[in-house]
Structure 1
């Protein structure tokens, strides 16, 4: 291949492309972590605690070991020891990974044993037959505002000005409490891992959001050299923050080490609920004060989430307003309370999703009291620099999103009066809310190889959790190389490819794309130096973006959006139907419009689910879940999502060579508030607690009618 043959202007970045692995996925050729065939494969089944707090007093393993096919039973009495002070690239792993290390049970669903057998059916039967006895202790799983034990972690509070004084001087004040329930990731693919020792290395075929992240944490946990752990995660059926290192990984490694044969552990849906994290419930208070013209004098947001007694986790919802709205007095604080539950974790748009519900609902209430259009209120409070940080924005086009969204949605025709539009038995309403999510980048390593056959191979430890990352990275490489995308192969999700950011925080494609672009440009500059044909082993350029990212100027970097919703409410049945939704986003340069729209619509669909359906219920007496499955935990289905439209406006990040900002999470932010605001517009009743269930609609109607049974 000569250099002249690479100078084709490609249809790459900005042109819609079908995912490169699409055919494999729809035909079943794509193998997931629980499907890859292995010779002599053994199957593990976790046994979870049936009490919420206490100690294990005995495990009757002898009877289970005698059952057909059973190979071993691992528990705190015989399992290998692991380190208890591991701190990895993303901090300390969930302490649940320190599995089988002691006899304590800190919460319901704590793993107490792993039964391994020749078949999955034998392992399950034996696990369900294992008798574990406990010395039970009183537990506390209650969560609500005002309960004892609440504290403020370090650096979780910001304050400027006198909030109380500015509230007192305001022409209109909103002081309201909002709640969101516990929510779960519910990825289509349950968590699974297959582990084996091969050629002196520990190999994992996993479903995760970052293979290098999982490999390094496992190496630290088992005191292995990082080169001795190899993790691959070729296909992932959804993650949303839950697929990092978990108890089933560690248990499977222990079993594979003992048995010296491959061991697979696949979690049931109930086990996923118990052991892989969730979004904490929140209790929030928002206080807003404004002049008669709508200018904010006071902005206060108090956000409370629960955490476990094992590790502190802060949901961070009070951070939403720190970049969005300025005021003379600005006070935000995130507080936590530890109780006897599993540790929460990141879940799509952590912090911003619940925080936006409270803030954007309160702004709608303020607009109502002032008699100002909700969009006009936001326009009047558009900041010029970061409201708390004082830093300049890298780019900010929130108002452009509202302008385009209002035009597409038909906002100008809206009658602002509540409870005036009807369609037969349905009350109709429309609502809007703002959306934002940070746009970050983390150091990543990528290599690009010019192959002898004229193709190019990209290698990076990225993770495609269903977002189309392979395709996007191939387009970025093709553009930098100036070749057709068909000539670029992308290999990902292999820890041997080096350090790279995880698929999380809406930072994946931006971080990986920067590394891929830099390596591709470096390779392109080197190709003219190669005389004649490319050698058989190719020519490779490798780039680490750590130094490049460190040079970024100190600015506030966010993606933005405007959410619009129309709902219909049947006040006789309490049913709420979303008839249409529109989201318009300023999210930097869009690499692949086809998969980008899918991500944004997916986030907005999750917002519908958050607003109307999702709610994990915990039984106070047992400390465990009620309905920890898809029968009891409701999510939005096709019939709940009739018309969801996502659009975007031009908004490149001038400091990013790829120009992207990230779109994985912003779609869910503000969606629940837009729906709740639309329900108010339809019914004249404000709902401050999610989800907006039929019983809550009926009770609100009864209160509005003054009925004594309400």
Structure 2
């Protein structure tokens, strides 16, 4: 199905099942511990052995020698894989460094060996017996040091530099200006389920049970890495215990499991041990961001400039922290630039809302600082600079843009009018109380996505697509889509996901998954409806599917009758024909936060949070709310505690476990509220939906920072906002 004209009225608009806050259909499996995650799939293939990965002890250099004798002689050892005996390995499209290092080492904890043994304990013990001698080389590990040598880095879709008007002159002539630098740290995905895989060979064919967000991408990368054709690989990932972008592509666990299974000649399972994950896999890279704003005295932005520096391995990609600044606020004179420094730290890559999440951490503090200089309420300042067209391409309008409505709705619900504009004015016992806010922005791209649907003689509809569910509710919204289209209750729909044998979907990532994947299911169901009406001899043009019946004119026939002789099968994809190029597809929101800051210790406590989101049709308000409050919690972590501490001498993240890398928990935030504005977007897809799971994190950290400033009068531009950055500047309240 080609989607190249705005969506008209269609069966989804009935909203009998789509748009309802239904429980997750896979919820009972997960809450009872019976959902089969990758490492736990003991039943898929017999005689599984265990693999244990050994990571490099240096960040840059070479392996001088590797003594495997003791490890080979250890009890239970079946095989040891290293770069020397693994055979020629290619490099996938989506990984920057090789997934098996040696003799060259590209980053700390790069996999250098896999020990395969009968038990996990035997494999781990033997791995500890491997003696590796390294020849270290000097590396670059501090973003601030090579910043001046950073080079422009971008793509055709996201160029490194963007300029409109004459920024330098407009900034110099502006009545009110701000020039400030902000920093965000390296951050870890820290998902609950580790990277894990089970690999089994049948001749030259590989079966891989893994934890992965993008099935088709990963089949391609496995094929390139192993030097085999894609049709020789069967990849399955039906349940994923969190990804946040860290499982967008295959990592060392999958490659090493496949190599180990080939070497041991039996199935092998590998889970990256938690202390290895932080350096071995990807992370959100640190940024240095310079914001320059110029405005008239009445608060109209005349100049907006945003420069961002980040670092990555050679051939890596920048953290695209300026992208929202190109689209969020009006301003005649604009300049944004991305610069990438070469660092020898582990690979930087996508983490929930890459680009916008760290970019908004800087931009939305700068907007508050500028509002204060202008003597304007920060909400009013944002509203005065709202726009309904792309500020850099005025001929292109937004498909939907309710930023102002989000700001006003949030202000009313949160009680913003009671906020003290001057900092340090509100007290609650020993706590200094402050309120802050920030706008939220995240792009909402669409990607081709396919599905197969089956109807059997019992009237059951089965959906097959390689779409994945990373805890986001894909199973449920896909079932809702099929149920609505085919006119059956939810319990008559079976959804099968995460299998490369199924049609290729959009996959889970980039906030494109829900809208694109359900649109693909919609397209397949349109074909199935045509097959059903043809089989039943009904007029497809006016046929209605409802309550398990198909009605046309005076006739009403049971849906199941269409398949009484043989199962009906239909397959199709949604292909987007360019509406997303003619119009900017984006989601908008507003975040409001109230904090208490201990007047003596500078301890910060978040008291309440509110998010208002305009994100197209909300396919399931219950699961969407869950996504947003999870994102808000991640944003709170980014504001206050999350930081991968870099050892700039030896080039690794010191706090590489869940003891040293702290993440927020439920008890840290006692009250969260989410409001979804009523919105449908016929330019986005037949579903008239968008994504929402990443919008929820964008702007949150800045809202927390702005609330802390309102409480204490201390402006921190260096995330995370820890006690040491507040204590010395805290007001004297004795």
Q: TM-score over 0.5 for the alignment?
A: yes
- What is the alpha-carbon distance in structure 2 between the residues aligned to residue 164 and residue 334 of structure 1? 17
* Pick aligned residue for 1:678 from 707, 717, 721: 707
Q: Is the 8 A contact 1:212 1:496 kept in 2?
A: no
Q: Is the 8 A contact 2:81 2:263 kept in 1?
A: no
1:368 aligns with 2:372: yes
1:108 aligns with 2:108: yes
* Pick aligned residue for 1:449 from 440, 448, 454: 454
Could you tell me which residue of structure 2 aligns to residue 94 of structure 1?
A: 96
- What is the alpha-carbon distance in structure 1 between the residues aligned to residue 62 and residue 227 of structure 2? 27
1:586 aligns with 2:614: yes
1:342 aligns with 2:370: no
- What is the alpha-carbon distance in structure 2 between the residues aligned to residue 387 and residue 355 of structure 1? 17
- What is the alpha-carbon distance in structure 2 between the residues aligned to residue 544 and residue 598 of structure 1? 28
Could you tell me which residue of structure 1 aligns to residue 519 of structure 2?
A: 514
Q: So what's the TM-score if we normalise by structure 1?
A: 0.95
Q: CA RMSD in A?
A: 1.8
1:351 aligns with 2:355: yes
Q: Is the 8 A contact 1:80 1:254 kept in 2?
A: no
Could you tell me which residue of structure 2 aligns to residue 567 of structure 1?
A: 595
Displacement of 1:540 after TM fit?
1.1
Q: Is the 8 A contact 2:110 2:279 kept in 1?
A: yes
1:663 aligns with 2:692: yes
Query: What SS does structure 1 have at the residue aligned with 2:393?
Result: coil
Could you tell me which residue of structure 1 aligns to residue 135 of structure 2?
A: 135
* Pick aligned residue for 1:415 from 420, 427, 430: 420
Q: Is the 8 A contact 1:574 1:696 kept in 2?
A: no
Could you tell me which residue of structure 1 aligns to residue 531 of structure 2?
A: 526
Could you tell me which residue of structure 2 aligns to residue 277 of structure 1?
A: 282
Could you tell me which residue of structure 2 aligns to residue 47 of structure 1?
A: 54
Distance 1:200 1:58, change over 3 A: closer
- What is the alpha-carbon distance in structure 2 between the residues aligned to residue 527 and residue 302 of structure 1? 56
Could you tell me which residue of structure 2 aligns to residue 695 of structure 1?
A: 724
Could you tell me which residue of structure 2 aligns to residue 708 of structure 1?
A: none
Per-residue Cα deviation, 1:252-282 (whole angstroms, up to 9, x for no partner): 1111112221100001111110111000011
Displacement of 1:177 after TM fit?
0.6
Q: Is the 8 A contact 2:371 2:381 kept in 1?
A: yes
Per-residue Cα deviation, 1:432-459 (whole angstroms, up to 9, x for no partner): 1000111111011111111111110011
Q: Is the 8 A contact 1:10 1:478 kept in 2?
A: no
Could you tell me which residue of structure 1 aligns to residue 243 of structure 2?
A: 239
* Pick aligned residue for 2:468 from 463, 469, 480: 463
Could you tell me which residue of structure 1 aligns to residue 555 of structure 2?
A: none
Q: Is the 8 A contact 1:567 1:576 kept in 2?
A: yes
- Structure 1 residues 107-506: aligned runs within 5 Å: 107-144=107-144, 147-154=147-154, 155-198=159-202, 201-243=205-247, 244-309=249-314, 311-390=315-394, 391-506=396-511
Could you tell me which residue of structure 1 aligns to residue 76 of structure 2?
A: 69
Displacement of 1:139 after TM fit?
2.1
- What is the alpha-carbon distance in structure 2 between the residues aligned to residue 574 and residue 143 of structure 1? 28
Q: So what's the TM-score if we normalise by structure 2?
A: 0.92
Gaps in structure 1 of 5+ consecutive residues: 1-5, 706-710
- What is the alpha-carbon distance in structure 2 between the residues aligned to residue 545 and residue 168 of structure 1? 49
- What is the alpha-carbon distance in structure 1 between the residues aligned to residue 361 and residue 444 of structure 2? 20
Q: Is the 8 A contact 1:10 1:484 kept in 2?
A: no
Could you tell me which residue of structure 1 aligns to residue 86 of structure 2?
A: 79
Distance 1:53 1:256, change over 3 A: same
Displacement of 1:145 after TM fit?
7.0
Distance 1:685 1:200, change over 3 A: same
Distance 1:414 1:552, change over 3 A: closer
Per-residue Cα deviation, 1:357-409 (whole angstroms, up to 9, x for no partner): 11110000011111100010011001131011321111100111111111110
Gaps in structure 2 of 5+ consecutive residues: 1-10, 537-560
Distance 1:281 1:407, change over 3 A: same
- What is the alpha-carbon distance in structure 1 between the residues aligned to residue 225 and residue 65 of structure 2? 26
- Equivalenced residue count is 690
Most deviating of 135-144 and 667-676:
135-144
Query: What SS does structure 1 have at the residue aligned with 2:38?
Result: coil
Runs of 4+ residues deviating >3 angstroms: 145-148, 548-553
